[in-house]
Structures are given as structure tokens and as C-alpha cells.
Structure 1
């Protein structure tokens, strides 16, 4: 993936850009791999919440910019102002209620900022999904630039000569490579790597050969090259959880040609017919975890007890005979060739699949086989990922689409924006009043029980069809320590292993 932005806020929020930016600019709240605030790595020292759950008082540490200036509450407020000015161009608009949920924000002193919201909220939700979006920015340097200027200059190295993160930019060649050197003025823990360089390559296969030849010291082994892992046996191994997210199939509820997808029994049947364990073993080579709802399995910080039980016993969710029964109850009868019919309509639809991943193609073919066994005709349409995204909007003519959701910066997986009516990334136009209420409760009411109610209902309703989530083998040089590899991967939870 190419890096094409160096600045917080004014970027397209791709995972590559987000990870690179976090090397240079530290967010107000650093969210650790267990999906809770890591205060040691955060610029904020603490956050206090008023009794009415509307006012958040943020206290900053004594943190420094790389030129020796102090990181101030005004620098944080400047980020909030930039988010407001970016408007609809800001890719995370609406997540965590930002920025419209903020009624007022004022600086008390150099290290104290008070943010008051328009309504009471679940504090955990707002901290993990709202405040996590704030990066102090060097406002005294950027104040001469308009928002349009910042978008235009987002890939200009001259804009990031002053940073507050663990690394400073050393060299950047657009589309080719980017390298960093340790920031000697960094206020946090001293990073273990003196230099850190990334190479942008055109394919997984090219990255594999660069790793084998020694041009790369750290690299991922794609699933379709799993059998070739022995060619890099000279390298150490760890396993990455692939980030915090979930795989799913979006369904177009606004397309009349697949109106049958609006029937919850049909969606439940599709889910019960999926052999997730087979997908993990065949497509992911045993590297993956089951996924039955929009709250990720690994780590299971916010997974409900019911969903944890289902993950531990995935066969409970694989019941093809029950799937057939549900389809019969919905009026679908087996016809010619084993495919079901109802009122003269064939039970079939098309699924868009990104052609950039051979692994996803393999998953799609396994799904095709699973659903054929219960009388569903799935047609696959491979296409470039960007074209797939361009087609995915309510009222579009697509049927279904395979996609991945990554929770960043919405680390508290409440579902706002994804499955609520008119949500910004509710691609299929799903609408359910109870789902809307459960999502609101998870963001407004204090306690995990409200999140649990939402995710359990999502499993029951299947607003999308949930799929297993892959893990990845990462190979790295014998010359690197595990701590250094974690630093290189940075936001990836890398666990030692010999798989």
C-alpha cells in the first residue's frame, strides 16, 4: 500500500497513512492492543468526566515538540478546529460523534483542556472513538495555511520538520520508500530502533522475494504463498492478528432484484451454512479466528459472553440443515439443479470480490460451495477494490460485496456509522429501529451490557454476513529482537510463535 500523506486529519485515513503519521505525531490518547487507553504512551496524563457524562477535562503531560517547544492544550484545540474546517472531507466525520457532538471546547491553561458535549455519553465510547481522533498539531507553524493548503501539502516533507512522536522523517519518495530516524527529543519511552524504513512494492509476491533476498528485514507471508514459507526458514517468525476488525459481506437492501435479502430468515440461513472452520483451514492455512458479529474476536476485550461461547464452539453456528429449514419456512422450495425458487424467482445473487487478494477469492469460492449445498446460487464478480468501493452505495445496482472493516479510530466497536439507519458506511442501506436504539444505547449509556446487547442482536439479525478473520505470519531477520519487530510493525499485535 502506498503512503501519500504525512499529516493528521487531512488524509484519506488509509491504514498505511495512519500508521506512518502515528510515528511522527502522537495522538492525545494512545489506544493499546488490548483496546484500552495506554496512559504511558499517551500525551494526555488523565481525563476526568463530570457526573452528568457531558464534560471531559483533559490534563496533558509535560510533552515536547522536536524543536523544544511545549505541546499545549491550544495545539490540541487546533486539531479540533481543523476537523471542523475539513467538514465532509474528514474521513472519520461522525465517528465518536466528532465533531458535531462537541458543544464547546476551551483551554484552561497550557496543559488543561475542557470539552463539553451536547448530550450525555458513554465515557468509554467517547474516549476511544472521539478523543482518540485528536492529535496535537504544531499550530504556530500551520496557522499560515488554509485547510485547502494543508490538503495540497499533505505529502510535503517540509510540513513535518517539527513533530512530537518517536520518529522524525528522514526521506520520502512518493510511491517508492519512506524512512525515519529516532526523535532525540521524544518525551515518551525511547524507541528501540534508531532508524526505520518502509519500501512500497507493487504486490505481495514482490514483497516476498524482497524478504527472501534480504532487501527487507521484516515482511508478511501472504496466505497464498504459505507453502513457500520454507524458503525463508532462515528468518524468525511471529504471528500477527491482522489488526482490530472484521470481515463481512455487505448486502444491498435497496436493490429490488435481491429483495429476498431483507428477510431475516434468508440471512440467518446464509450465515448458518458457512463452514467458518473450513475457511480458516483452507483459505487461511489455519491462521485465523471465527467471526460471528461486528465486534472482533481477537482481542476479545469487548466480545459478549454469548459470542465468546460461540467462538469457542464454532460448530454451533454451522448448521446447514437448520439453514435449509429456515429457507423452507421463508417459502423457498428446491427446484431444477438443486437451486431454490419462490414465486418464479431463483434464489441467487452476485457478490463483488476484490481481485487484489487471492485469499479473498479462495474464501468466495468456499462460500459459493457452502451456499450451493442449501440451494443458493452465488455468482462471483472479481474487480479492483477501488471500483468495488465506488459501486457500494445505497440505491446502487450491486447485490452483495465482500469487504473488511478496520476499527481505527473507532476502537469501541459500537456500530455507529456502520449499521445505524443512514450511517456513513452503511453501504447496503440496512435499517432497523431496534438496531438503531441498541447502537444509541451503546454510545450513550454507561457499561458494557449495552454493547453486548447490540452485538448479540447483530448476530441474530445478520445486517451483513459475518466471516472469519485472518491472522498472518510475519518473518523477520535474525538480527532483530522481538521488541524491535514490534516497533517496526508498530500498531500490529505480534505474538511470538513457531506456526
Structure 2
């Protein structure tokens, strides 16, 4: 049975969302029926265990799959605002000591789907498992969580007290560190084999905690067994798994024991896989999915989708190019500030958004997104310090000893300009083995 809810997103860096069949984003919530959600091309969920390694660390596995069943300790995002959502969090707002070196967490009286309470022991289980298996956790960064927690105590079933290695601002530690905690059902998962009993293996030794991880990781990789595996039947989120296939078809039904304030009203929520965005959009054209997306190349057809509404879905995220600072040939170049500045001057964000993303994108100028608006992006970050400017990039290079050489390829309609430079051995230049190195090449229409 199809509901009256229809949503369409634009598949691009800044996605768009739409609500159809006469409704907008403020349409009344529906009771009963089923809603279908289009997965992005070839991004099927395939890992259910929240302690997720790099190979499985994705939006498809976390935000659009795990979070529906296993809630993080603290939930963020509230009606489009970038902020802690206290009502959807599993614990009360954290309380920091006056010196910023201790934080106290009080769990809410919420329950797992089997009726057992979510307690400080479930938080302890997560922390112990992370400490013993940092090399398997994609979010781990040396010096960050859990390295910056030098002590932890659990005085009762509802209280967690963390002692930190130094003073931290409460916003930083809550938003960047506590946000990474996901309580896990210790009374179900703290075991090392199918036939083994649940124990306190995470507390016994690092080796035993590693054995627990090895078991849970192996079970999580067996997607075909999710339906009947007792490990995954105990959840604390609003949804629980009804059926899942290895090709990405997922069916959720409400967790009737969910303790949170926003409970499911649909009878079923399904994720539907597509191998290509073309295949997905063909289904959208026929009205065959409730929540879908428009591939960037097809955005001109937006007006023809009369069965759907349309509105922006802007994620609080950034895109960036990762420079390989260890590259043998170019690492000395990348260490030079002026080189990085020149590269940035050659990134035409406005042109990319206009011509490739068809206007559906937001530029970013630093590590904090500027959309949706928040208090975390300062005035400097809201303006481009290195706007697209080929002349400025060239000047940075020539001011630092590079010269311009010209040669003509076979095509008489173009000329290829190469910026070439010699490398000194002083600290301001670094040193490389090559006497000259081709740095930038672009073609100019003639």
C-alpha cells in the first residue's frame, strides 16, 4: 500500500528534498501504510554493527541504516538547526566541571526493545570496545576519543563520569567527542561466539575485548543472516529490521518499545536499491517510489514530476580534495604555503555549482559548513579567501621563482602553457631530486 507521502531529492553535493501529492515538508504525518526510500546508486547498506571500520564507514551504513535501529548517545540536528537535540538523545545534557576536565552523563530511563534498560554499562561496553579496537574504528584519530579520556567511572546504572586529559570547551567535547558514543546492548553482545555465554569480556582484558569485536564484526559481515540473527533483534531506535537481502533491499517495522518522543506512525519503511541513478530516476518518473532523488543531469525535468513536491535537503557537510603530503614526487611542493594557495585559486567553486550542479550547491571555504546557518562558522569562513583567479595563482608561483614556458602541441587552436621552476635547497623551498618539475598545465582556447 502506498502512502500519500512523496519525496524527491537532487543527487548532488547539496541534495534536494521534495514532498509530493499536494503536500509540503509540513504535511501531516501519516498513520499506517508503507513508505519507500531510494538508496543512492550502488550504495547499499551492508554493515549493522555500530563500531564500524573504514571499509564500511558510510552514510548508507550509518545515517540511513544503523541510526534507525541503534541511536547514538547524543543526537544532533533540530528542525534544520545545527544543535544538540536533547529530546532525542539517550542521556540528559552533559554537565562539565568548572575546570573543564570532567564530564558527567546521566542516562534517561529508556529501554532496549527486549525491555531491558539502557544503562551506563552499555556506554562502558562501547568505550571499552573502542579502546581495545581503535585500529578497527574508522572515526579514531590519535589523541582524540578515547585517548583523551584518562579515567571513567560508573557509580550507578544511570551515571557515567569521564575524566579528561586536559581542559576542553564543553561545545567542542560534546559535539566532537561525546557525539561518537553509541551505547550497545552489553547484555546481548558481550560474547565471543554463537554458543558462548554473555559475560564481561570487555572488562577482562584487551585480548578478550578484541575477541568480542572479532565475533561481532564477523556476524555483521554476514548480511544474509540479519533477519534471524538474535544479536540484531535487540535495538533502541524507532525501527527494527524485518527483512534484508544482500542486494540492499531493507524492510523496517516500528520498534513498539521505542522510548523516544517521536515514534513511527508508518507500518513499514523500506530502503530500495538501484545500481545506477538512471534506473532510479526511471522509477521516479513513474511515481514508483515515495522518497527519491533527481540525478544532476536530469534536474531540468523537475517541473514534469507532478506527483512529487520538491525542496532542498542541505546536509551539514563539506567536500574537499585530499592532498597527498607523502607523495614522493610532490611532497616538498605541497609543504609550501604559496603552492597550496595557488591550487586553491584554481578551484572554481561558483562555476562548478552553476554549470555542473545546476545551481544546487553551496560553496565552502573551510572545515565548518556555512549552510545550514550556525554559530560555528565565523565571518572569515563565510567569504572566500582564495577566489577563483588564474592570474593570482600564476603570480604566487612567479613571485616564488617559477618561470613560464610556452610550447605548442599539434592542435593549432590551443597552446599549452607550463609553469616550470627550479628548486633550491633552502628551507623556504624544500628540496627535490629533479632540477625542474612541471607544476601546472592548462589549456587556453585560441
Give the TM-score category using the shorter length: 0.7 to 0.9
Name the residue aligned to 2:58.
Answer: 14
Q: Aligned match of 1:28 in 73, 92, 101?
A: 73
Q: Is the 8 A contact 1:76 1:136 kept in 2?
A: yes
- Deviation, structure 1 residue 24: 0.5
1:211 aligns with 2:284: yes
* Cα deviation digits, residues 147-194 of structure 1 (max 9, x gap): 211001114422221111111111111223011111111111223433
1:251 aligns with 2:323: yes
- Deviation, structure 1 residue 346: 4.9
Q: 1:25 to 1:122 in 2, by over 3 A?
A: same
The count of aligned residue pairs is 349
Task: Give the secondary structure class of the aligned counterpart of 1:53.
Answer: coil
Task: Give the secondary structure class of the aligned counterpart of 1:14.
Answer: coil
- Deviation, structure 1 residue 63: 0.5
1:293 aligns with 2:384: no
Instruction: For 1:191 and 1:36, locate their aligned partners in 2 and report how far apart those are by CA, in whole Å.
Output: 23
Q: Is the 8 A contact 2:73 2:182 kept in 1?
A: yes
* Cα deviation digits, residues 69-114 of structure 1 (max 9, x gap): 2111111111111212323011112278122222122212121111
* Cα deviation digits, residues 18-45 of structure 1 (max 9, x gap): 0211100111100115332110110111
Q: Is the 8 A contact 1:96 1:125 kept in 2?
A: no
1:153 aligns with 2:219: yes
TM-score, length-scaled by structure 2: 0.73
Name the residue aligned to 2:93.
Answer: 46
Q: Is the 8 A contact 1:177 1:198 kept in 2?
A: yes
Name the residue aligned to 2:337.
Answer: 264
Q: Aligned match of 1:329 in 377, 399, 416?
A: 399
1:345 aligns with 2:392: no
Name the residue aligned to 2:246.
Answer: 174
Q: Is the 8 A contact 1:167 1:181 kept in 2?
A: yes
Q: 1:57 to 1:96 in 2, by over 3 A?
A: farther
Instruction: For 1:234 and 1:265, locate their aligned partners in 2 and report how far apart those are by CA, in whole Å.
Output: 52
Q: 1:254 to 1:95 in 2, by over 3 A?
A: closer
* Cα deviation digits, residues 48-69 of structure 1 (max 9, x gap): 1112211110011111111222
Which structure's residues are more often helix, by fraction? 1
Q: 1:16 to 1:237 in 2, by over 3 A?
A: same
What are structure 2's unaligned runs of at least 5 residues? Answer: 1-42, 193-211, 407-415, 423-434
Which segment is superposed worse, 211-220 or 257-266?
257-266
**Structure 1 moving runs of 4+ over 4 Å:** 371-374
Name the residue aligned to 2:298.
Answer: 225
Higher Rg: 2
- Aligned-residue Cα RMSD (Å) equals 2.3
Name the residue aligned to 2:45.
Answer: 3
Task: Give the secondary structure class of the aligned counterpart of 1:88.
Answer: helix
Q: Is the 8 A contact 2:240 2:254 kept in 1?
A: yes
